[in-house]
Amino acid sequence: MEELAREKEFPIVGRQVGSFLYQLAITINAKSVLELGSGFGYSAYWFAKAVGEDGQVVFTDLSSENIDLARQFFKRGGFQDRIQIHLEDGALILDEISGEFDIIFNDIEKEDYPQIIDRAYNKLRSGGLFITDNVLWHGRVLSQDNSPPTEGVRGFTELLMSHKGFYTTIIPIRDGLSISVKL
């Protein structure tokens, strides 16, 4: 998967973040994970490994090509039975999917980040984790960049840090992760 990401110049969280996501998932004994924006499944693969045979990862992506690649990787890893694949916008599935999740991993379009905070909160169990990638946004959040993606990440971070239902920390690895615990 890492080799394919390099070849296609496709952004993935990478091994350091992937293993950290795995550690977070096993630490809280996560059995249900919802991924919002899964690409070809790199982070979903780490979560599938963590939730075990009785766990479930819900994978969302808008690209059928990414989904086809993900299915191949999940089958090779023996995780195909742990993953529900949805060809759907990750932001929209929050309104449609039922149940509570132990972890929600957010990696959708950056300009859409602010709109999902409360919706994610409502889908998490107490003590669950809302994890978001790219909160440092390649340093652009500290620059004069006022593009919609950058403004989305800035607005998201401000809303998330002031949310009364989450305790949030930003971890400055790779492109930054926010880790929010539902209180």
Domain harbouring 162, CATH code: 3.40.50.150
Summarize pLDDT for 129-166 with one digit per residue, the tens.
999 999 999 999 999 999 999 999 999 999 999 999 99
Could you tell me the CA-to-CA distances from 26 to 20, 29, 41 in Å, in that order?
A: 10, 5, 19
- According to DSSP, the β-strands at 124-133 and 177-182 are antiparallel
> Residue 16 sits in which domain range?
2-182
- At residue 91, does pLDDT exceed 90? no
Mean pLDDT estimate for the chain: 96
CA proximity to 153, closest of 108, 92, 103, 119: 108
- pTM here is 0.95
Cα 178 from chain centre: 10
- Contacts (Cβ under 8 Å, ≥6 apart) of 25: 33, 46, 47, 50, 51, 102, 103
* Cα-based distances in Å from 54 to 27, 133, 142: 16, 26, 42
Quote the number of domains for the chain. Answer: 1
Q: Number of helices (H) and strands (E), helices first, in the chain? A: 7, 7
Rounded to whole angstroms, the Cα distance separating 57 from 48 reads 6
Structure tokens at 91: 């932001």
Residue 144's identity, in one-letter code, is Q
pLDDT tens by residue, 102-129: 999 999 999 999 999 999 999 999 999 9
